[in-house]
Amino acid sequence: MLKKGENNMDINTLKIDESAKINAQAWLDGTYDDVTKQAILDMAEHNPSELNESFYRHLEFGTGGLRGIMGVGTNRMNRYTVAMATQGLANYVRKVNNNDTELRAAVSHDSRNHSREFAEITARVLAANGYKVFLFDGMRPTPELSFAVRYFHCHTGVMVTASHNPKEYNGYKAYWSDGCQLTAPHDSAVIDEVLKIKSLDDVKMDAAAGAIEIIGEEIDKVFLSHVKQNALNADVIKKHHNVKIVYTPLHGTGITLIPRALKEMGFTNINIVEEQAVPDGNFPTTPSPNPEEHAAMKMAVELAKKIDADIVFASDPDADRVGVAVKRPDGEWMLLNGNQTMSVLFYYIVKQWQEKQLLSGNEFMVKTIVTSELPADIATRAGIKIYDVLTGFKFIGAKILELEGLEHFIAGGEESYGYMIGDFVRDKDAVSACCMIAEIAAWATEQGKSFYDVLVDIYKEYGFYKEGLVSVVRKGKSGAEEIQQMMRDYRSNPPAEIDGEKVVCIKDYQSSESKDLVSGRVDKIDLPKSNVLQFFTERGNKITVRPSGTEPKIKFYFSVKSDLCCKDCFGKTDAALDTKIESIKKSMNLV
């Protein structure tokens, strides 16, 4: 065993945080492996600042689970922090379900480095705590994990992933029995239990034989059968099966199911970006595996230009988000933002439900409060209820659970490239979304149009909505106080007008009040309290102010609107709305 003082190094002599010294020494003295202990000593000798970063605190188990840089330390994602977090989760789930004779859990992972190792450790700890664990035989998309939790009647589930974060990160999403990520009161209660786990000695690791069941193809088939049931126009897909699709999984889990799902739907011309089809946690062909960023879509768009494709989409590493690119009339490709993709999905689904007379008047759709109002307009005009929820897809899942058996859920989404069609999954689902996007491309072809044309049609009918975002970073303790002061100032002295337009409504999600400044009416906002403010202007513009819960920043979301006279006016109107957003930023002193 390596001890303090080996390599002539005494951690207590280092100029680092006392908490880092205590935590690092506890690992040196504890039942941790020799490779880990040597890494601690090497950091102490050669990189004390890294030792400080790695040990100055315990990696926080947030309301969605874990996420952090991989490495040795209490503030890093590694086999030990994963095991201790899982023990806390196991303890809480058992406490809530203490009358159940057999507790169940499902575990999956993405393509990131160490994801399989972390998933196996998670399964082992759960099994050692008496759970029956269903562990996937390899990487699978997040939506399939959500589905598996429900399918196997599990009490909890874990998806090992850092979503679209850089390659240095890994993470861990925790799910409840409804297949949705943890919501109140379970989210904060699990955190409390995780905080009680002080060392590896508190973790059970000896799993009984047979407690872990490996699952794979059999659940893939069931999941894909549900995806296929989302199809609204089988005849159109059959007729236009050769619509030219370009897809990239960005080295992630999407490769396991999305091409297969498209084929089973009936599409035959699927062109995969082969360089990005190999699962690889280093994401070697892109600076970021985030389909929200242009760089991630670059290779897919290049292939689309080469083969003259009809539609392009990309999924992130755990295949819950999807980015889309469409061809303009001039032959150039345009990347859609999340609001645009969501609007087209809502428009098509609503239109098909209307034409097929499927609406009974008891249907609903859901979006988040920072999402464009265009999807809400589409639903409302069709007589479909639309619910706003707080930012975070787990709140969409919670709304479905709240209304289960009372109203019929159709679809939901958020501006950050996440969409859900049907309720068999309770999280973002790039598998279903990609299939529906492909179906829309086929339907557009049937109309003699392109996907781009469908978007323009929506803007002509409902108005041209455009969105923007500004993140203001304020670091340190003083920065955090400055952000809170900004929110206090907006509440105590809200703007009477923004960029020359009167503010006609203010929604304060912390006081749960919506104030109509024209009539003076005050309505209650029936959502959990959250430090968010929204200002609505007389011409339909919306400005949302929201401090980040995990980063030292405050975000300003902008949504503006204009009429679109004709298809040829798209570029001019788009530019005018960009100018409008910039003008609003200036009026709020954000540039």
Active site residues: 163
Question: Within a 10 A sphere around the Cβ of 178, how many other Cβ atoms?
Answer: 17
Residue 355 to residue 353: CA distance in whole angstroms: 6
Of residues 79, 236, 98, the one with CA closest to residue 160: 79
**Hey, what amino acid is at 59?**
L
CB 255 within 8 A of CB 249: yes
Q: Is the C-alpha dihedral spanning 194, 199, 202, 204 positive or negative?
A: positive
Over its C-alpha atoms, the chain yields an Rg (Å, rounded) of: 25
Beta strand spans in 145-298 (E): 156-160, 169-176, 212-215, 245-248, 270-272
* Type of residue at 98: N
Residue type, 138: G
Distances (CA, A) of 12 to 20, 44, 52, 397: 10, 10, 12, 48
452 residue type, one letter: Y
3-state class percentages of the chain: helix first, strand second, coil last, to nearest 5: 40, 20, 35
> Directed axis angle between helix 48-55 and helix 18-29, to 10°?
80
Identify the three-state secondary structure at position 299: helix
Distance from first CA to last CA of the chain, Å, rounded?
57
Find tokens 């999600």 and name the residue. Answer: 509
Identify the CA nearest to 172 among candidates 78, 257, 95, 249. 78
Pairing of strands 156-160, 103-109: parallel
Task: Provide the H-helix boundaries in 382-537.
Answer: 393-403, 430-446, 451-462, 476-492
CA-to-CA dists, residue 556 to 293, 469, 585, angstroms: 19, 6, 9
Tokens of 225: 């059968």
Closest CA to 499 of 455, 468, 527, 530: 468
| Residue partners of 519: CB distance under 8 A and separation at least 6 | none
Distance, in Å, from the CA atom of 309 to the CA atom of 301, rounded to the nearest integer, reads 9
Phi, psi values for residue 229, rounded to 5°: -70, -15
> What one-letter code names the amino acid at 547?
P
How would you list the strands of the sheet with 169-176, edge to edge?
Answer: 65-69, 169-176, 156-160, 103-109, 131-136, 212-215
**Token match 């108005």: residue?**
463
